[in-house]
Structure formats: structure tokens, C-alpha cells
Chain A
Amino acid sequence: MSLQYLKDAVANNETDKLIRYVRLHLGDGNETAGRNEIDKAWIEALKLLLDVPTTDRAFIFKTLSEQDTATLAHLFFHLHFYFVQRSGEWIHDGQL
């Protein structure tokens, strides 16, 4: 979708268009694949926390409080691909 198409969807609160775009982006043009990719990233993240390892919550809170929201949103997309790659089920053609 074009940027204007997405901005119009935001302005009109057309969330179906927005989530479809996210799925297409994450699924390389395949909406079903994109939905699976989102599931895959969350499952991979969940698996890493099941044993309740110690995590650096100070880093998390510091990052969330000090970084601008655009950087955090960008990080969110990076984390998605990071966990997908970590899962070992890489559907994309190239590399990050």
C-alpha cells in the first residue's frame, strides 16, 4: 500500500486495512503467511520466558522511558524479525 493509503486508513480508523498491510509486509505479500509470522514471533518470545530467567528489566524500563516512540516502533519491527529468525523458520528470501 502507498503511504497515503495507510495514512487515510489511520485517519478513518480502518484497522482492517492496517493489519492487512502489516501481515502483507511481514509475509512478503502473503497475508496468511504474515499472520503466521506474527504468531511465530510471539511463540518464540514466549518460549524464552517459560523458565522465568532473570531479565534486565532496568534496561527495558530505561529504554521505554527514554527512547522516542518512533524508535520504539522501529524496534518493535526489528524484534519481530529477530524472533522469527531465531525460530529457525525463515520464510524470507534474503537476509536482514
Chain B
Amino acid sequence: MTANSNDTSQLRPGLWDTINERYPGVMITKDDFIPLAHLKKPLDQVRLAFISSAGVQPKGTMPFDVVHPVGDYSFRRVPTGAKVNDLEIHQIKYPTNGAARDLNVIFPIERLQELAAEGAIDALTPNFFSFIGYQMDPPTFERTLAEDIASAVIADGADAALLCPA
């Protein structure tokens, strides 16, 4: 939930008020923050996973359900060896113009492939993981999607995961 269990302040305090006014109850507060896990090995020995809410998915897979009024609680595996042209975005809630020109601005698959090739990290997990934001049921999000992705990341043998909100 946060990177530091001792820091519960918000960078933009007014933002949540605005969101709660437009979408009452959708923003949650939590008291049971999970402490940041520290790396147990050097970065160049780490197998890295990447988790994104950008709605990126392999072409030909079932598009994320961006029309559903309550949300889509599924995720897609994106093979880390995929080419940018093999991928597409299904999401209507954030500007994708920049990503349409260069997917790496929101889903830096080529940059991460380069880091692995250069040895800055040991390797990438076989898959990256992608879902869409705009979920109206935070408890279901936490109980299903978040847990499902966490299990998939562990199954892929990740030592660390890079999380990137869209």
C-alpha cells in the first residue's frame, strides 16, 4: 500500500477529496500497511517482474473490459520477450497518445529487456503482468486481482517486482 510503513502522508492531500467527491467510497484507507521488503541480493542477481495498470496486453487476447461499470478484475500475462508491436492497450481512462507512439513511456518493456541484456539485473521473469485501473470494488481488487498477480509473480520466480501505475 505504501513504500514506508512510517509514512502515511499523501503527496497531494486534496486529490483523495476530489476523487471521493466524484467516486464516493472508492478510495480506501488502510491502517495495516505492509512494510517495504528489502532486497536480499545485489540488483545484478535479481530476477525482476514488472506489474502495470496500463491495460497493456498481447494482441489477440481478450480485451480488458473497459466498459464495465464496476471494473475488470482480470490480468494479462505479457511475455517479457514480446516485441512492442505484439502488444496493444485497451483502456479509456488515461491518455494513451504518448504510449501509442512509444509504448515504453508507460510500459518500459524494451528498457527492461536492455537492463537484463546489459547485466544490470540478472534476468526478467518469463512474464510481466498487466491490468486496468478504475475498479469500483477495492476489497475485491485486493482479494482477487492483487492476490492473483502476487501469486503469479511468485510462480514466475521473481526476486523483486517493479510496480507502475498508469
A residues bordering B, Cβ < 8 Å? 1-6, 21-22, 24-25, 28-29, 74, 77-78, 80-81, 92-96
Contact = CB atoms under 8 A, between A and B. Distances in A.
Contact of A1 (B23, B89, B95, B96): B23
Given A25-B69, A96-B90, A3 B137 contact: yes
A26 B87 CA distance: 26
Interface of B: 22-26, 55, 63, 66-70, 89-97, 136-138, 140
13 contacts: A1-B24, A3-B136, A5-B25, A6-B70, A22-B69, A80-B67, A81-B67, A93-B93, A94-B55, A94-B96, A95-B96, A96-B63, A96-B66
B103 to A, nearest CB: 13
Main secondary structure of the interface of B (DSSP, over half): loop
Contact of B92 (A4, A24, A93): A93
Contacts, number: 69
Given A2-B24, A24-B22, A95 B70 contact: no
B68 A74 contact: yes
A95 B89 CA distance: 7
Nearest to A17: B24
A24 B94 contact: no
B69 A2 contact: no
